[in-house]
Structure 1
Amino acid sequence: MTYSGTSAHLRVPAAAALHPEPVPTTARDKRIAIVSASIGAGHDGAAAELARRLTSHGFVVDRFDLLDLLPVHLGQLVRDSYHRMLVRAPWAYQRVYRSTERAGGGGPLARALLRTAEERVFRTLHPDTGAVVSTYPGASRVLGSLRLRGRLTVPVLTYLTDFSVHPLWVADGVDVHLAAHAVPAAQARAAGAQDVRVSGPVVDPRFCPGSAVERHTARARFGLPGNTPLALLVAGSWGVGPVRQVALELRDCGAAVPVVVCGRNKALAERLRADGIEHAFGWVDDMPALMQAADVLVQNAGGLSSLEAFATGLPVASYRCIPGHGLTNAAALEEAGAAVWIRDPARLKVALCDLIHGPLGLSQRAIGFALFTAEGEGGPAAEIGRIHSAVSPPQSPRFTAPRHHPAARRLVATTAVACGVWACAVGTGIATAYEGSGVIHAIGHSLDRDDPPPHHIFHVEGHHHS
């Protein structure tokens, strides 16, 4: 197979095509639970692909959303608060991220919130569950606590969905951490993880290099120019970050025509089209074809889309990244040599031209493909299957602790009030309105005393809330 997305050609190793993962036959007809969280699309995307692979090898897979298992609709509050913080007060998210990073994990509120989910998670697991996999830091904390205290008698694994590893990912009690690359594996070990294994990425097999015919067909289908270099700009399922600014800079620099995927941010797509960005899409159901049509991926978060681009054969550039994990992922991808981090807008055109036509693009495609050819003995699903099969038949995970305890009810009520206050504050714009008075600055300072007040270098344009 030959990559034909640019003027340069690269022969793709046969193993680079996403291949089936061998799973021991002794593991067939067994049950595995996967706990994720519907925050963005990356955690659920990894969970879905793990479930697909494990199911294809004969496992019964149960998938759960941790946010659905939080009591009294707290999950929706958490999801909405996180979203609104990224949109309305990204500087606050950066402070929270850094403060928890230095502290080695979440604060008292986060711990209390996760503690409320433990019994619900435990009671949700099927009694025949032989292993539990987390694709979300909060789920790892909940499952690790259950394992550490002897409530779970089966292995708990964490699949690290990001290239950078926040300390929240590493929870006491988790038996094995699976990483896509040596860089996140090293970060997990530095954060205290004991058993870390590099098992390769988890990506839908539809993301693969396309032929010249497939490339032409995809461009025609999406109404894209046939021979012009295309820069695919992605900003996650929520379309957050300075997307409009980047799209205009891509257009004006002249290196490639911008093709922007705004996810569920319809207002952003409409604003871009009004700006004259012709190829602005909302939610795209066939991202594999759109990636095959493009010549370079420009991203701001470093999540699942980057891995999908590596599998497709697209070089990746990180540019104007969102706070927190966007910045740390950009640094980790650059350390791995898998993506270039463009820090200076003056270098945007030069870097994109090198990625599309030059040796930098060839080098990065080779590194991206190597992520898949270097998978440890079949990839993460195979590793999960081996760990599942290595243990004796699971004991029933059920316990007899009372469902309703007065202290637990008080904890739930207190946590609900705290989350509700924060969600309302961020969601109604109080963070913006009160910033000048110093109220929010004081709250931020309590999270991170070493940071000076930010000057709104991150923003979202074209996004509106009802």
Structure 2
Amino acid sequence: MSASIGAGHDGAAAELARQLRAAGVTVECHDFLDTLPGAWGRLVRGVYRAELTVAPRTWGWVTNATGGRTMSAHTSAVLSHAAGERMMEAIGGSPTVVLSTYPLASQLLGRLRQERRLTVPVATFLTDMSVHPLWIAPGVDAHLALHPVPAAQARSLGARNTLVAGPAVGPAFRPRRNDGEHLAARLAFGLPECPPLALVVAGSWGIGSVDRSARDIADTGLAVPVAVCGHNERLRRRLSRDERIVALGWVDDMPNLIRACDLVVQNAGGLTSLESLTSGVPVVTYRCLPGHGETNAAALEKAGWADWVRRPRDLRAALAKALAAPAPSIIDRCRAVDMILGIAARPEALPA
């Protein structure tokens, strides 16, 4: 059970589904937003996108306001009343285990477990490096984290059976084999051959201070910024007016584009950060989004996976450091599938 909000939740769900199918498991994928009544799903997606695009600072206020356990309990109760039946219909049949990659889906599934309407184990795959309280629902049987840092956060919030599973990143994301592959990747995208390239990413919607980030990078003279604007065509046109910046729209071949570049500058701590590190490309966080962007930045830095540049005057030094040192290594193999299969095989072994 994922949600079509951005690309991170669906991206993790797709990779976990691929690995489970490769292990011989039958998998059905559903969009949590489709289980909401009427136009609720479109409304949730639209409000989230508009808030991050038009007034991103308010998103930080929302994440802070929804951080209490009382709010989590209220949210799960409302979702159970409004969408419980539709969720049960979507689950259907007799699944062995239900997996969530989206916090509101976890809240609803946990409530259904508490109400004994759902009788099979529920696991949550925590897609973020930081854990907002809405990720943790009392009825969820197991929580799978990317790293010990979010695992510790989840436990502090009362999560049951928290395990470190590692990132769910597709096999196409791998380090480049040699300099020839590096050059070929650049040529495939029409990128400059010689100078270092800094890939600037801001999610599938191109949200945040991407303009300023790209120009700040260009001002350092250390790298040519290559900005991925996703579906934000306005942003791509704006950046295209600056001859120092390479502005791209939606990119289908992100593995090859990441291998073409020398470092990644990101603002949300999402899936692209994990894909870049898996590809052996260092990551720097800069001008991050309020709310989850800032908490993810702090967690990535604490884990030693990405430096967080808080002030523009520190950007040059951070870029120089990233270009000079190899990317930190992250867990090579995601163990989530083994853990999910273990939960499915022995649900009675889960602590109450």
State the TM-score bracket (shorter-chain normalisation).
Answer: over 0.9
Determine the C-alpha separation between the residues in 2 that align with 1:111 and 1:350. 49
Question: Shift in Å at residue 101 of structure 1?
Answer: 1.7
Please tell me whether the aligned partners of residues 231 and 296 of structure 1 are also in contact (alpha carbons under 8 angstroms). Answer: yes
Determine the C-alpha separation between the residues in 2 that align with 1:82 and 1:246. 22
Please tell me whether the aligned partners of residues 76 and 108 of structure 2 are also in contact (alpha carbons under 8 angstroms). Answer: no
**Amino acid of the structure 1 residue aligned with 2:4:** S
Please tell me whether the aligned partners of residues 135 and 158 of structure 1 are also in contact (alpha carbons under 8 angstroms). Answer: yes
Please tell me whether the aligned partners of residues 122 and 141 of structure 2 are also in contact (alpha carbons under 8 angstroms). Answer: yes
Question: Shift in Å at residue 390 of structure 1?
Answer: 1.7
State the match for 2:44 in structure 1.
78
1:371 alignment partner, one of 315, 321, 331: 331
Written as runs of structure 1 = structure 2, the 5 A alignment for 1:55-70 is: 55-70=21-36
Determine the C-alpha separation between the residues in 2 that align with 1:391 and 1:261. 43
Instruction: Give the total of aligned pairs.
Output: 347
Relative to structure 2, which stretch is displaced further, 87-96 or 192-201?
87-96
Greater relative contact order (Cα < 8 A, sep 6+): 1
Gaps of 5+ in 2: none
% same residue? 50
Taking a change above 3 Å as real, the CA distance of residues 240 and 214 of structure 1, as seen in their structure-2 partners, is same
**Amino acid of the structure 2 residue aligned with 1:281:** L
Question: Aligned to 1:280, what secondary structure does the other structure show?
Answer: strand
Determine the C-alpha separation between the residues in 2 that align with 1:110 and 1:386. 27
State the match for 1:384 in structure 2.
340
Question: Aligned to 1:250, what secondary structure does the other structure show?
Answer: helix
Please tell me whether the aligned partners of residues 218 and 245 of structure 2 are also in contact (alpha carbons under 8 angstroms). Answer: no
Question: Shift in Å at residue 106 of structure 1?
Answer: 4.4
**Amino acid of the structure 2 residue aligned with 1:288:** P
Deviations 1:291-310 (A, max 9, x none): 00111110000010111011
Please tell me whether the aligned partners of residues 207 and 288 of structure 1 are also in contact (alpha carbons under 8 angstroms). Answer: yes
Please tell me whether the aligned partners of residues 50 and 202 of structure 1 are also in contact (alpha carbons under 8 angstroms). Answer: yes
Taking a change above 3 Å as real, the CA distance of residues 352 and 230 of structure 1, as seen in their structure-2 partners, is same
State the match for 2:181 in structure 1.
214
Determine the C-alpha separation between the residues in 1 that align with 2:72 and 2:222. 42
Question: Shift in Å at residue 115 of structure 1?
Answer: 3.5
Question: Shift in Å at residue 107 of structure 1?
Answer: 8.1
Question: Aligned to 1:334, what secondary structure does the other structure show?
Answer: helix
Determine the C-alpha separation between the residues in 2 that align with 1:282 and 1:370. 28
State the match for 2:301 in structure 1.
334
State the match for 1:419 in structure 2.
none
Taking a change above 3 Å as real, the CA distance of residues 113 and 391 of structure 1, as seen in their structure-2 partners, is closer
Taking a change above 3 Å as real, the CA distance of residues 115 and 237 of structure 1, as seen in their structure-2 partners, is farther
Please tell me whether the aligned partners of residues 114 and 138 of structure 1 are also in contact (alpha carbons under 8 angstroms). Answer: no
Question: Shift in Å at residue 253 of structure 1?
Answer: 1.1
2:109 alignment partner, one of 143, 153, 178: 143
Is 1:112 aligned to residue 78 of structure 2? yes
**Amino acid of the structure 2 residue aligned with 1:286:** D
Determine the C-alpha separation between the residues in 2 that align with 1:159 and 1:77. 24
State the match for 2:160 in structure 1.
194
State the match for 1:411 in structure 2.
none
Please tell me whether the aligned partners of residues 214 and 245 of structure 2 are also in contact (alpha carbons under 8 angstroms). Answer: no
Question: Shift in Å at residue 104 of structure 1?
Answer: 6.0
Question: Shift in Å at residue 93 of structure 1?
Answer: 1.2
Is 1:229 aligned to residue 196 of structure 2? yes
Determine the C-alpha separation between the residues in 1 that align with 2:10 and 2:145. 16
**Amino acid of the structure 1 residue aligned with 2:298:** A
State the match for 1:461 in structure 2.
none
Question: Aligned to 2:264, what secondary structure does the other structure show?
Answer: strand
Please tell me whether the aligned partners of residues 247 and 277 of structure 1 are also in contact (alpha carbons under 8 angstroms). Answer: no
Please tell me whether the aligned partners of residues 155 and 175 of structure 1 are also in contact (alpha carbons under 8 angstroms). Answer: yes
Question: Shift in Å at residue 276 of structure 1?
Answer: 2.6
Determine the C-alpha separation between the residues in 2 that align with 1:183 and 1:127. 36
Taking a change above 3 Å as real, the CA distance of residues 143 and 109 of structure 1, as seen in their structure-2 partners, is closer
State the match for 1:306 in structure 2.
273
State the match for 2:210 in structure 1.
243
Q: What is the TM-score normalised by the length of structure 1?
A: 0.72
Question: Shift in Å at residue 91 of structure 1?
Answer: 2.1
Written as runs of structure 1 = structure 2, the 5 A alignment for 1:64-463 is: 64-102=30-68, 105-106=71-72, 108=74, 111-113=77-79, 115-211=81-177, 212-357=179-324, 361-362=325-326, 365-366=327-328, 369-372=329-332, 379-391=335-347
Taking a change above 3 Å as real, the CA distance of residues 109 and 146 of structure 1, as seen in their structure-2 partners, is closer
Question: Aligned to 1:59, what secondary structure does the other structure show?
Answer: coil
Determine the C-alpha separation between the residues in 1 that align with 2:291 and 2:29. 27
Please tell me whether the aligned partners of residues 237 and 263 of structure 1 are also in contact (alpha carbons under 8 angstroms). Answer: yes
Question: Aligned to 1:197, what secondary structure does the other structure show?
Answer: strand
Question: Shift in Å at residue 102 of structure 1?
Answer: 4.3
**Amino acid of the structure 2 residue aligned with 1:239:** G
Gaps of 5+ in 1: 1-34, 393-466
Question: Shift in Å at residue 110 of structure 1?
Answer: 7.5
Question: Shift in Å at residue 278 of structure 1?
Answer: 4.1
Question: Shift in Å at residue 337 of structure 1?
Answer: 0.8
Determine the C-alpha separation between the residues in 2 that align with 1:261 and 1:305. 11
Determine the C-alpha separation between the residues in 2 that align with 1:214 and 1:76. 42
**Amino acid of the structure 2 residue aligned with 1:265:** N
Q: What is the TM-score normalised by the length of structure 2?
A: 0.95
Determine the C-alpha separation between the residues in 2 that align with 1:135 and 1:144. 13
Taking a change above 3 Å as real, the CA distance of residues 127 and 113 of structure 1, as seen in their structure-2 partners, is closer
Determine the C-alpha separation between the residues in 2 that align with 1:249 and 1:104. 42
State the match for 1:462 in structure 2.
none
Taking a change above 3 Å as real, the CA distance of residues 110 and 174 of structure 1, as seen in their structure-2 partners, is closer
Determine the C-alpha separation between the residues in 1 that align with 2:79 and 2:244. 43
Taking a change above 3 Å as real, the CA distance of residues 100 and 391 of structure 1, as seen in their structure-2 partners, is closer
**Amino acid of the structure 1 residue aligned with 2:173:** F
Please tell me whether the aligned partners of residues 2 and 32 of structure 2 are also in contact (alpha carbons under 8 angstroms). Answer: yes
**Amino acid of the structure 1 residue aligned with 2:344:** H
Please tell me whether the aligned partners of residues 115 and 142 of structure 1 are also in contact (alpha carbons under 8 angstroms). Answer: no
